[in-house]
Amino acid sequence: MTRSTHFLLLHVFASCFAATWVKITKPTVTWEEMEVSPDGERKFFCGEFDASFTGRYHWRFNGSSILPERTQIHRNQFVFLSGSNAIRNQLEGEYECCVRETLGNACYSRMIVVQNRTDNHNIDMSNSTLLLAEEGNTYYIRMHDVKRVEGVKCTLDGVNVENFKYPFLGRHTKKSVPYHLKIENLERGGEVKCDLRLQKKEVVEKTFDVRLLGGFASISNTPFFFISPIICVILGIVIRL
């Protein structure tokens, strides 16, 4: 839609429905295609017609004025803060920005869709010390060869984290393979240290590393100036042989 067409339509709507709000639909945005800043933030603009507009912006998410967590509003910008990728499933939906422009009242609407949705996984780590994980996924982990525990206390790189907890919901566990730790919407990797409290005040420890799969660089994404020295070294060895 050209700017002149946009102007004409908005003017017609404003003339016919001066006291009502006109809904203008913007193109759908894919979460994975949004630009990510060096601070890990994503954002999009209201898209109002009047670039000189200085009034108030009213934002809504799925028809509600209650906005998702890990988001902020800077007037005509809707910002997804660092760490929001871990909860991207919760951010999918319709975003509306409503303004009272000179030509009339308009709500600019756009849908944000998530292609790479997060998922839940049950992992038996009783004989493992490495968890290869994806950002945003939720993991139910069995850490020791014990039936049940009274509670779990864990740290990530020495810091207590809220999304590392004991999985109280029985429907996520099985009698044959009980799970002792729930990591909800995993955000980052690091060293995990856990104390499992058993019956009779007995405590067992478990330490393991979490590595995000997205952190591994593939050859296709590695700059040639980094690969070329490696190739030269390999060729040199072959020539000597």
Average pLDDT, rounded, for the chain: 81
The pLDDT-based confidence of 235 (bands split at 50, 70, 90) is: very low
Tell whether 155 and 89 lie within a shared domain. no
Residue 55 domain-assigned?
yes
Residue 33 domain-assigned?
yes
Tell whether 50 and 76 lie within a shared domain. yes
pLDDT digits (tens, 9 = 90+) for 93-113: 999 999 998 888 999 999 999
Which segment of 91-105, 122-136, 174-188, 197-211 scores lowest on mean pLDDT?
Answer: 174-188
More confident residue, 49 or 123: 123
Q: Is the pLDDT of residue 117 over 60?
A: yes
Question: Residue 167 is part of which domain span?
Answer: 120-215
Q: Is the pLDDT of residue 225 over 50?
A: no
Tell whether 97 and 136 lie within a shared domain. no
Residues 217-223 have a mean pLDDT of 36
Residue 234 domain-assigned?
no
Last residue of a domain, one of 95, 113, 131: 113
Q: Which two tokens stand for residue 18?
A: 């001066």
Residue 235 domain-assigned?
no
Return the CATH number at 43: 2.60.40.10
Distance from C-alpha of 186 to C-alpha of 174, rounded to nearest angstrom: 22
Tell whether 105 and 136 lie within a shared domain. no
Question: Hey, which bits of 71-202 come out as E strands?
Answer: 71-74, 77-80, 93-101, 104-113, 120-124, 130-133, 138-142, 151-156, 159-160, 164-165, 181-183, 190-197
Residues 81-96 have a mean pLDDT of 96
Percent of the chain scoring above 70 in pLDDT? 77
Distance from C-alpha of 184 to C-alpha of 133, rounded to nearest angstrom: 12
Residue 12 domain-assigned?
yes
Distance from C-alpha of 141 to C-alpha of 76, rounded to nearest angstrom: 42
Nearest in space to 209 (alpha carbons), one of 227, 195, 194: 194
Residue 71 domain-assigned?
yes
Nearest in space to 106 (alpha carbons), one of 213, 218, 184, 12: 12
Which letter does DSSP use for residue 199 in this model?
A: G
Percent of the chain as helix, strand, coil, to the nearest 5? 20, 35, 40
Tell whether 152 and 64 lie within a shared domain. no
Contact 63, 93 (CB under 8 A): no
Tell whether 54 and 142 lie within a shared domain. no
Domain count, the chain: 2
Q: Is the pLDDT of residue 170 over 70?
A: no
